[in-house]
Amino acid sequence: MIDQLLAPLNWISGIVNKLLKEETFNDMQRTFLYNIATEVEALRTLLLTIPDVTAERAKQLLSYEGRSHLASVIGYAEELVDETEGELTDIQRDLLFDVRANSMQLVSAIETLLEQ
């Protein structure tokens, strides 16, 4: 179960870390990227604790905290994609669309797990 969530999360983390290495972002864009990275790491930490808790507690964690972290990632990615804080290159925009899409897929995967 956790592996299904960690794989796309690791991909998101890799993309965000790649974007953070670029020098073309302004301060606000960079802050949004750091916030995405922080939320991704918080979610990774949460997912890694899941095997150590009861099934009911795992569902509670995923239901509230898991979705909250992903909502933040999606929100920051949307702000960047909308270019409200500055322009992006086509590649940056495409990568951030992918981050948002993968985050939304993770939300869907968590909801599917919660329904079981």
Mark 103-112 as b/e (b = at least 16 C-beta within 10 Å): beebbebbee
Query: For residue range 56-102, what is the model confidence (pLDDT) as tens digits?
Result: 888 888 888 999 999 999 999 999 999 999 999 999 999 999 999 99
Domain count, the chain: 1
Instruction: Specify the pTM.
Output: 0.92
Question: What residues make up the domain containing 70?
Answer: 2-20+27-115
The answer, yes or no, to whether residue 54 has pLDDT greater than 90, is no
- Identify which has the larger pLDDT, 1 or 8: 8
Q: What is the per-residue pLDDT for 52?
A: 83
Q: For 7-16, 51-60, 61-70, which range has the lowest pLDDT when averaged over its residues?
A: 51-60
CATH number of residue 53's parent domain: 1.20.120
- Going by C-alpha positions, the residue among 79, 69, 89, 83 that lies closest to residue 12 is 69
Q: Chain-centre distance of CA 88, in angstroms?
A: 19
Q: What is the per-residue pLDDT for 89?
A: 96
